[in-house]
Amino acid sequence: MSDQTQASGPSAARLSDRRAFLRFLAASPVMTPTAMSAIAAALAAGSSDAFAQSYDVLRAPQQATADGIISAPEQALNVFDFEPAAKKALPPAHYGYLASGVDGDETLKANHEAFSRIRIRARRLIDVRKIDTSVTIFGQKFGTPIMLAPVSSQGAFHPEAEGAVAKAAKLKGNGMILSTVGSTSIEDVTEARGAPVWYMLYPTDDWTVTEALVKRAEAAGAPAIVLTVDRQGGRNTETLFRLRREDSRVCQDCHLGGFANEVSRKPMFDDLDVTKVTNLYGTGMTWDYVDRLRKIVKGKLVLKGIVTHEDAEEALKHGVDAIIVSNHGGRAEESLYPTIDVLPEVVKAVNGKVPVLVDGGFRRGTDVLKALALGATAVCIGRPYCWGLAAFGEPGVAAVLTLMQREFETIMKQVGALRIEDINADAVTRA
């Protein structure tokens, strides 16, 4: 029973007549799906003001889940619901690759846990019926500040791979960054997205290959080349190694030794001579390498993996156009420094001269607002949309983006922000 008392007498009769009328409308062959949904909600509510008031408990259909794991995207209440569904859908090793941080996964955990130490200051009596969540970066307008971070080898999660992700991003208005070792070419991803995507560059240790990758990405329209600089020291992905033990498949059937075999199914390396390449990550990179790359990149050059004010200041000296504060989603180093905690020092060092983006641990719309309040231009998410991809393909990605955007819009209204520019440091405090 609700907190309302059971109707009786004339009121009950009127309610019964109203229900009969609604059922008559529902049976009409000309009713639209939207109208049908409204009528169904009204019938379920059983209240005279059902059309005027939306009850939270009726927001989603009541559907049972097996073992608490969703079986359809619309069952999800938040992005966390997609992780167990992804784990169920994937072979252990593939899930391990997605789930793994480095060493004890402590930095991975810290990335998200740090958001709980930041509080949001709500404001009242501001008309927030109309808000604008759009952002413009490098002259490209996106419907939301939530961008899709580069994640490698998405064919390991779903056959449609980055193509499905790009279609969902197009539908929801999100920006997207494609990995060098994605399972889909930049040309196909750009077509599916319906707009240019940024290109994340693993530089390799062969300049000829690096230059070819940059030229191909720019020829496909990529407005930004995103150089990843946080993989120079190698990494110990213990969670991946542990879950591989549970995988009965023979990994060598797909993963053969040697760089050429490693990238043989990565379309960005098609027709390239990789015989001189020994690693993807340019382990000998210095700031001189950034200078060299700056000379050949015709568009914008972004550094991904900056986590200190010293490196942010140095990046500006070398002509970098933007910075992504990142520890590779907790997969670069076990520093225990969450990206949301180091964001302010990078923002201060940059002093508004270039955009500052951030990734690492974003799971809620409130997380997004906290980052923007601390000075980020936009945020990038990785694992959440890959959970959606692994579990349900394109609809799963779209559902993840919808949920995070809905949460973000809700908290924007609570702080009284009508535009992204209205979100500032006054919106948050440190616990």
Distance between CA atoms of residues 60 and 103, nearest Å: 40
Of 210, 201, 199, nearest in space to 177 by CA: 199
One of 94, 112, 158, 328 is an active-site residue; which one?
Answer: 328
Residues in the chain: 431
- 48-84 as b/e, with b when 16 or more CB fall inside 10 Å? eebeeeeeeeeeeeeeeeeeebbeebebbeebebbbb
Integer CA distances (angstroms), 397 to 61, 93, 134, 387, in order: 20, 21, 20, 8
**Residue 304 host element (H or E):** strand 300-306
Contacts of 268 (CB under 8 A, 6+ apart): 180, 181, 182, 185, 186, 213, 216
Sequence-ordered list of residues with C-beta below 8 angstroms from that of 116, at least 6 positions apart, any chain: 431
Active site residue 328: yes
**How is residue 83 written in tokens?**
């992780």
Question: 65 in helix, strand or coil?
Answer: coil
Pairing of the two strands 428-430 and 118-120: antiparallel
Please report where in the chains the tokens 């993996």 appear, as a residue. Answer: 305
Residues with Cβ within 8 Å of 423's Cβ and at least 6 positions away in sequence, in order, are: 369, 372, 373, 412, 415, 417
309: CB partners within 8 A, 6+ apart: 345, 346, 348, 349
Q: Which residues of 5-32 are buried (b: 16+ CB within 10 A; e: fewer)?
A: eeeeeeeeeeeeebeeebeeeeeeeeee
Indicate which residues carry an active-site annotation: 328
